[in-house]
Every structure is written in structure tokens, then in C-alpha cells.
Structure 1
Amino acid sequence: MLGIRERRKAGAGEGAGAGEGEDRGLRGRAQARGERAARARPGGRWLWGAGTALLVLAVHSNWHLAAAAWLFPVFLLRYARLRPARRGLLRVGYALGLGQLAWLVSTGMVFVPSVVAVFAVLVVVQTLPFIADRLVAARSGAGWSTLVFPVVLVCGEYLFTRLAGFGDYGVLGFSQHGFLPLVQLASVTGVYGVSFVVAWTASVAHWAWGRGFRWREIRRGAVVWAGALALVLGAGGVRLVWRAPTTDTVRVAGISAGRAAERATQRALHTAGQELWRPRNLVRADPRRVGAALAPVADDLVAATDREARAGARIVVWPETQAGVLADGRQRLLDRVAEIARTRQVYVNTAFALYTPRPPYVRNVAALVTPEGKVAWTYDKAHPTPMEPMTPGKGAVPVTGSPYGRLATVICYDADFPELMRQVADKDTALILVPANDWAGFESLHAQRAVFRSVEYGYAMVRQSVHGVATAVDHQGRIRGLADYFTADRQTLVAEVPVRPRTDTLYSRTGDLFALLCAGGTLVVVALGVVRGRRVRAAFPGAPGGRP
């Protein structure tokens, strides 16, 4: 009797197991049918529309919204998951292309063919993390799969920065320049860490959405993400409080020539029939006429230097190339500045277009005049923009000592190249002076990016930008002063900048280690994609490509 009962129990257990297996199979098939139906429905188009609209607002421009950068990937990731892989990813690429086109139009760069070509490559790079999520993360669904998107995104940003020769444009993290607790992460990972946090948040939100936000299913992944975000923001807040700048400051003035002086020089240089504004024509014209044409701006800057020095500024910074001078007249201009520097005991970082008799006929120069009346450095811009037909400088950042800490300079676009700016940190610079010249549509972008350079490397920065927004930033990214060229007849930036030895940062020591780790993680993602694809094809020989 006992044996009979045991056999009956065993049979019942087998029946139950078979029933459960059958139920799981039915649920799996139903889920698969549901996913196929979802991919076939046209209703997913609203996801693409919402994601694209948010993307246009998220692209770092004068009118970007920081919150949109956290949101747009959620919708585009969801869209890519619900559509057939090829079609969905292609349309995500279209969305990213529209975002970059909006940026090019808003900044006026759409008329520069070389820039358009570079940003077309950037669109392809930005599509790669969506491809990785669709083809690798979608096949797992585990909490770790949320890391695929941010890891590949950071890898793409880093490789584009290093290989394209166009600076660190296209980096998602720059959109968060005003979120100082998060920005402090750049002192450890560079701006790439901020990109990672934003992208990971979007990936986690998408992952939770795919599970209907059911707490039992997302609890572990959500807790890990929330804990990491709390740690990053908490550490950033602590750094802002406990590593705050010293109250010992130096008064710095950034000056630009007034509108009247600019108009006078422009009228003289655009003389009908001669077009003196072209460097080739300018160096061949009558030197007296050229000198008279360039004089209003130079005279205005010299007068403004004396005015701000008398008002108490200890360092004065000129903007990039607003002033122009012939090679024969350079020393006379520097002698005028040297007289003010000796009399007022100030440092003056002059900047000007230096016109020379040999092609390409112009140099973009910054020259620091010390309180002794001597020229401490003459620096040529190392990274001319695609619109500047001039020979690049050697890229050796000059540094000199002062009672206010070690001073250094680069010019405008140079600050978009992290490896060049790392030189400044390696030389223990406390304050970097950046002459700059922007334009309408681009006036705020460089000023906002300067926040990250200061936090990454631990130095203060004064960026005097004519035709743009001039800013003074401390080593934690706080704005100490701001002057908008387009809202004043005479743009003058005056700021009390903290004086201290450079604040050492982990990023200045380890460099792009975090980005390199993400590059290594991307190789792992690629390997997982290959292995999983082979397994799917082996298990389902009839499946086309093993699509998830």
C-alpha cells in the first residue's frame, strides 16, 4: 500500500511539473506574441516624436534644457525596443541627426562644410549605444543590462574627442553645467562621469518602464541606481561645502573695446574696393592707413586697461583678436601696456591678431605683460577653428609665477581640448586666463563648458569673450562674474577670484581612466553580443539573425 501511495504522489508531482512547464511556455509565447504585436503597432511613433523633441531641447545650445538630457534617451530606447531592429535603430539615428542639425543651425555652423562632416560622424557615434542596448541589453533584461547604454555612450564620446580633432563636442554631460553637486563628479571622472550618470538614469527608467514599474521586479536594480546617485550627489555636496574656495581673492577685470570703437575700425577695414579686413590685403596696404584703421579698438583697450587698473584690478584680460596690429607695430602696443603695468602694478594679458607679411598673414596671439613691464609669454593659439585660416601654435601652455598663484593662458577653442588643458594642471596653475571671441548663437556655450574645465583640473578660470559671454569661474564651477557682450555697450567683467594653490583633483592625476574603463566595458558588450547571437542562432537555426 505504501508503494502505491508513493507512486501516486510521484505521478501527481510529475503532472504538476508538466503543467507548470506548460504554463511557462504558454506565458513565454504570449509574451513573445505581445512584443511582436507591439513592434508592429504604429502607436510607437509617439515615442519617437517625444524623444526627438526632447533631444532637440537637450543638445547643448544657448536654449537647451538640462532636464531634457535625462529624458530623451528613455523614449528613444523604448522606441528602438518596440520596433524591428533595423527600422527602429535607423529612425533613432534620424532623430540624433535632427538634434545635431538643430545645433548646427542655431550656432551658424551649418554653413561650414568641414564641421557638418564631423558632426555627421558624431551622429553615427551617438547611435552606437542605442544599437548596443537593442541588440545586447534587450536579450538579457537583468539589472546589469542597464549599464550597457551608458558604458557604450561614454566610450563613443571619448573616442570621438580623441580621434575627430574637434574638441570634446557631443558630450552629454556638458548639458548639466548648472547642477553643481553633480558637476563635482568631474573632479574624479572628467565630464564623462556626468554623461554616464545621466545616461544610466535614462537606461534604468527605460528598464523599469519595460517591467511596468512593478516594484518586485525592479527593486534591486532601482535600489542600486538610487544608492549610486545618492553617493555621487552627496559627495558633490560635501565637496562644495568642505572644499570651498578661500576668501583670499584677487580682483580680475576682463575688458572689451566699446561698440563705437569697433564700428570705427570695421568701417575703415571695409573700405570699398580694398577690403582691408582680408589679412592678405591688409599687410600689403599703406601701413599708415592700416594703423589708423586698427587704432580705435587698440586705443580703447589700452584706455580700459588703465581705467580698470586704477579701479583696483590686479589682473586685466583682453579678448581674443578684437585688437589687431601689424608686425611692425606690435612692440609699440606692448610698450604702451607696459607703461600702465609698471605704473599700476598689474598683470595684463593682452590678446590680438598679429598681421605678418608671410602666409597665412595672421597669428592669433596672447602676450602677458608683468608689473615689471616685461613680456612673460607670447602664446599662439594651438587649435584654430575651421573658420580661422592660420598656422596653429606649438601647443605648449605658458605658465608664470605671481603673488596670486601661478598664471597660465590658452586661447578660446583651445579650452575644448582636455589634453591641452591638462598641461595647465600639470604645471600647478592656480588661475588660467582665456582670451576668447564668440558670436551670436554661440555666445553661452564656451562659458558653460569652462565650468567643467575648472572642476576637472582644480584651477580658477577667467574667460574674457568679446561677442559672447565672459565668465570668471572658481575651482568648483561657481560663477564669480559674468558679462554679456550683447547686453551692454561696453562689456567689462569684474570679479573677485579666489587665490590659492591649485586644488589637486583625482582626474588631473588619473586622466581619462574612467572613460578608458568604459571603452573596456564596450569590448565586453561587443563580446556578449557576438556570443549571445551565436547561441540564439544555434538554438533556433531558422531564426533570421537570432533577433530578440
Structure 2
Amino acid sequence: MQRSLIHRLTQPTTTISVLLLVLGAIGILLSSPKWLVPVAPWLSPAFFLCYVQYTTLRRKWLWLFVAIVPASAVATLDVMPFPWFVLVFVVLLDGLKNIVLYGIHRWLTRNQQQFIWTLVFPSLWTVREFVETQGDIGTFASVANTQYSFSWLIQLASVTGIWGITFLLYWFAAVLVWAIGKYAARQPFARGLLVYGSTLAVVLSFGIYRYYSNETASAKTLTVGGVTVPNLHVLERLYTDATGKSVQIDPKASPASAVLQEANRGLIAFIEDPAPARFQLGYQAIQQQQDSLFSLSERAVARGANLVLWSEGSALLPKSGEPALIQRGQAFARRYRVYLLMAMGTILPGKLTSDRLFLENKTVLVDPGGRVINTFYKNHPVPMVERSLPGDGRVPAIQTPYGTIAPSICYDAEHIGTMRQLGWKNIGLLLLPSGDWYGIAPYHSYMAVFRAVENGCSLARQVSGGLSIFTDYRGNVLASNDFFSGNDRLTVVNMPVANVPTLYTRFGDWLAWLCVSLLVVFTGKALFDRINRDRTMHRHRTDKSLTDDELRTVSVPKQNL
């Protein structure tokens, strides 16, 4: 019965082909940050690959596209902060990329039965992710992010970066489909499974060792107080001032939602002319916001915080109001003898145009003596959404009595090239004020944990609209606080401040480049085989002395491991 089932997969009927597509599409849905089931990303590509390798369905590439695109659209809705027409374009483009990768894999591995060719599939997807991370999207779409709950596996990122996790996941699909084909053909496949199983066992053994070995047990610690005060009421008051109408924003609304787009009318009017006479309710809300931030910061200090961290853009205000806020922060830090990292969104007033950057998304760090010791601008504003002045690309290393700390902001953590500075500069604690929304929480917070594992540092990610999370260099969660849980959005946690050197910091994206090299070799081998086979066929047509046995020797690859 088992062999009959395997034969159905390798010689699928229309029903089996459709079933493979449906299962693959369900896997896409269950890989979404909204409904994540961590095993789904391991299985979904296996279903699609089995379909591509074995089905004889007419227009099979079209049907593959039809299966992938709608599932991806549903999975991405409310996750990407883009208008619907941009989302449609992104999903269609992503679907085409998927089809191209499956097509390249089919072309490269046609008639290739050796186990070594299972490396093609994971190499293709690893290289694709590697190329995409060089652009604005960063690591946001990496499948490795879906494995954040597998603590032993994510330790691999300290050696290979996220590429090792991506590679293992897609290699699993390739090995599974390869083994199914071998089993159906009554050919040996145990050695191949042993190779993959042994590799995975080594990776997990390393992960277990690293996860349960605490190399920062004797490190200096810093008590961090994370503070979040929602600022949606500021947008609501600005809207009322600008339009004379009221609006109520659901805290779970996505950035592309109709209610937030409507509320932005008030913000746009405020950006173009923030006259106090016109925006009386707005300025009152801004002042209340700041009062609440300092009140909650005082509570953090009372609970023992040596450093107070605000979430991204906590203080939204025009440029003219910035000096007073900074002076208040300096007085606070001086009075309580603490570090204060104020995260603010400073508006640069003026007429809005399609290319004008009107926001400074930044942090200001004040030391216990009341001195401003660092002003940091977000290095990587969210593309097509955030029109803020970018930073200089550097991550500052700030020396304190507790160890070396560094600020960055939210989306910066999706850019591994920038974040590798954490390891190079021996940063012990990354302060990452962030702003999320319901559709990507808590997924987006756990994505940042990979940067801590890769670069051997602790992470304090205080978040508005998501999960605030505090981890050590292993990704071990020391404390967390869900924005939507109804708590007071204050977290105080004792954190180690020490850097643990990693191979990834030293050697970087070596595995991604190895995958590039493998694809070059496999492509060369496939081209050589095809040229050789074409020449042999030509000789067969022109030289009748070549026997059928000789032709088959060249045309059919060896079936061994």
C-alpha cells in the first residue's frame, strides 16, 4: 500500500496533482506571520517540488502560479504596510520569482538522479534570499524567520547567518522528493537520508551546546526599563483639528487600513502648517503624550532601571518643540542618575511633495549627568512608507560603565550588513526601539532576535503595537510584554552587556557565496551534459556504427548515490 501511494506521487493523476497544489498553498498560508505553524515552511516547498518534478498536468506552470499567488496574497494581507495595488504587484512579482526558481531547478536536475543534485534546490532559494536582502526589503521575507521558536536550530545563525537555516529547510524538501522518486523506482536512497539526517543532527547538537552554555554568566549587567505609550490619540486629535470631525483608530489597524489613511489627513495638514492656533487639541495630546512617557519612565526608575528605553517614535512633535523635550529628558536623567534613550519622530514642517523627507525618526541618548552623548537617525526607513531622513549607515558603539551599548531603530534590524557592526564593534547590548502593528506581531520582534544570535549580543526591543522582547546573545527570552495584552506596557529587566564572538561576525555570508558557487558548478555540469548528449545524438544520426547501448551510456546518468 505504501509503494502504491508513492507511485501515485511520482505518477500523479489530476486529482493528486491538484492535491499537491492545495497542500502547498495551505503551507503558504500557515507560513504567514498571522497564522504561523513552524513546520509548514518545511512541507510547503516539498509539495510544490513534488508537483513540479512528477506531474504531467497540462499547463502545469500556470496552475502552479494560480496556486501560489492567491495564497501569498492572503498570507501577506495586513502584513506588508503597502496600499492594495502595491501589494498586488509585490505578490505577482514574488509568484513569478517562485515559478522561475522551480523552472530553473527542473531544467538543471532533469535526468540527474544522484543525491548531490539535491543541493540545487536549497542553493537556489538561499541565493534568492541573499540577493533580496541586498535591497530595501532586507531579511523581512526570509523563511528562516519562521523558525524563531526552534531555539536549538537558530543557533546556527551564529555560524552561517540565517542562510544555514534557509538552506536546511529547502534541502529537506529536495531530499524528501528525491527519496520518494528513488523509492518508487526501487533504487537505494538510505545513504542520502543518512547524509541529511547526520547534517541536521550535527547542527542541532551544536545548537543544544550553545543554547545551554551561558558565556555571559559573569558579565556586567544593566537594568533596562522599556516604556511604551500609544500615540494614536495624537493622530485622532490632529484629525479633529484639521477636519472638524472625529475618528477612532483601532489599535490593531494595519498601516494600510482605511481608517489610518483617513486619519493621516490630519497629520498631513499638521506637517504642512503646524500652527498652534489651528491645532490646539493636537498640541494638548502631544503634551499629554510626553507627560505619560516621563511618568512611566519614573516608574521604571523606581523599579530599579539604570537605563530607560522608549519605543520608536514615542514622542511625535514638530521641530520647534524638540529642544524643550530634550531639555526635559536631560533634567530627568540628571535627577535620577540614569541613561535615557528618547525615541522621537520630529516633524519638519513644510509643503508636502512626492520627494520631500519630512520626518526625523531618531533617538537621543542622555547620560546620568544630563549630557546628550548620542543622536541616532534610523538608517533604513521602511520603503514606500516612511519618508524620514536616513542615517549614515553606522551603528554607534557607546561606552558605559556597564559595557558597550548601541542604538538602532526597528527596520534597521532587517539589514544584516548594517547589523554586523554589532559584532565588529563588540557591542554587548543592542537598544532597538520599534513600532509594529497587529498583523506582524509578535513575528517581527522575533525576527530581530536573529541579529542578536548572529552577532553575539543582548537585545532590548521595546515596541509599540507589538511584542516588546528582551533576550541574551542566544535568543533566550529574559522578559517580554505584549502591547495588546492590556498590561501597563512597562518592562524592567536585568540584561547582560557583553559580546560573544561568532563565526558569522568573522566570516559573514560565506554560506550564501558557497551556494552561488554551487549553482555555477551545477549549471556548468548541466550545460556540459546537454552539449555532450546533443553531440552524441548528432553522431548517432550521422554515424550508424554507434550502437544503442553506447548512446544510452551517454544519455542516461548513473543512478548511484
> TM-score range, shorter-chain basis?
0.7 to 0.9
SS in 2 for 1:271: helix
Task: Using the TM superposition, give the Cα deviation of residue 125 of structure 1 relative to its aligned residue in structure 2, in angstroms.
Answer: 3.3
Q: Where in structure 2 are there 5+ consecutive unaligned residues?
A: 1-6, 245-263, 351-355, 542-554
Bigger mean CA deviation after superposition, 444-453 or 131-140: 131-140
Query: How many pairs are equivalent?
Result: 508
Bigger CA drift: 245-254 or 366-375?
A: 245-254
Partner Cα separation in structure 2 for residue 236 and residue 36 of structure 1: 35
TM-score by length of 2: 0.84
Contact kept in structure 2, 1:279 and 1:362, CA below 8 Å: no
Please say if 1:139 is aligned against 2:83. no
- State the 1:412 CA deviation: 0.9
Which of 362, 366, 370 aligns to 1:369? It is 366
Q: Distance in 2 between matches of 1:86 and 1:70?
A: 27
Give per-residue Cα distances to partners, 1:372-411, cap 9 Å, x unaligned: 1111111121221121123322222222111221111111
Structure 2 Cα separation of the partners of residues 490 and 146 of structure 1 = 51
Matched to 1:360, the amino acid is L
Q: Which residue does the alignment assign to 2:233?
A: 263
Give 3-state SS (helix, strand or coil) of 1:221's partner.
Answer: helix
CA offset digits 1:10-29 (Å, max 9, x no partner) = xxxxxxxxxxxxxxxxxxxx
Aligned-pair CA distance for 1:278: 2.0
CA contact (8 A) 2:274 2:349 kept: no
Change (3 A) 1:37 1:97: closer
CA separation in 2, counterparts of 1:361 and 1:233? 47
Distance across 2 between alignment mates of 1:251 and 1:356: 34
1:123-272 aligned within 5 A: 123-162=95-134, 164-212=135-183, 217-246=188-217, 248-257=220-229, 262-263=232-233, 266-272=236-242
Q: Which residue of 2 aligns with 1:13?
A: none
Is the aligned partner of 1:517 residue 2:514?
A: yes
Shift of 1:264: 6.1
CA distance in structure 2 between the partners assigned to 1:196 and 1:281 by the alignment:
48
Q: Residue 45 of structure 1 aligns with which residue?
A: 18
Q: Which residue of 2 aligns with 1:88?
A: 60
Q: Taking structure 1 as reference, are residues 144 and 108 closer, same or farther at Cα in structure 2, changes over 3 Å only?
A: closer
Over 3 Å counting, the alpha-carbon distance change for 1:228 and 1:276 in structure 2 is closer
Pairwise CA RMSD of aligned residues?
2.8
Query: Quick one: which amino acid aligns to residue 267 of structure 2?
Result: R
Tell me which of the two structures has the higher relative contact order, counting C-alpha pairs closer than 8 angstroms and 6 or more residues apart: 2
Identity %: 28
Structure number, greater radius of gyration = 1
Q: Which amino acid in 2 is paired with 1:365?
A: K
The 3-state SS of whatever aligns with 1:139 is: coil
Match status 1:405 vs 2:397 = no
Provide the C-alpha distance between the structure 2 equivalents of 1:122 and 1:522, rounded to a whole number of angstroms: 21
Measured after TM superposition, the shift of residue 265 of structure 1 is 6.1
> Cα–Cα, structure 1 residues 35 and 457, in superposed 2: closer, same or farther, change >3 Å?
same
Distance 1:46 1:101 in 2: 20
2:442 aligned residue: 444
Q: Write the distance in 1 (CA, Å) between the matches of 2:276 and 2:397.
A: 34
Residue 494 of structure 2 corresponds to 496
> Which residue identity lines up with residue 58 of structure 1 in the other structure?
S
**How far apart are the structure 2 equivalents of 1:237 and 1:213?**
36
Tell me the residue number matched to 2:297: 305
The equivalences for 1:528-547 within 5 A come to: 528-539=525-536
Quick one: distance in 2 between partners of 1:144 and 1:200?
A: 11
Structure 1: distance between partners of 2:75 and 2:328 = 42
After superposing on structure 2, the runs of 4+ consecutive aligned residues of structure 1 that deviate more than 6 Å are 34-37, 213-216
CA distance in 2, matches of 1:232, 1:36: 30
Q: Partner letter of residue 241 of structure 2? A: T
The runs of 5 or more residues in structure 1 that have no matched partner are 1-33
1:15-34 alignment runs, 5 A limit: none
**Match of 1:295?**
287
Q: Which amino acid aligns with 2:389?
A: T
Q: What amino acid maps onto 2:300 in structure 1?
A: E
Amino acid at match of 1:82: Y
- Deviation at residue 484 of structure 1 after TM alignment: 1.1
Q: CA deviation at 1:118?
A: 4.2
Q: Which secondary structure state, in structure 2, belongs to the residue aligned with residue 66 of structure 1?
A: coil
Residue equivalent to 2:478:
480
TM-score of the two chains, using structure 1 as the length reference: 0.85
1:170-225 CA distances to partner (integer Å, 9 max, x unpaired)? 21111111111110110011001001111111211111111227997012111111
SS in 2 for 1:286: coil
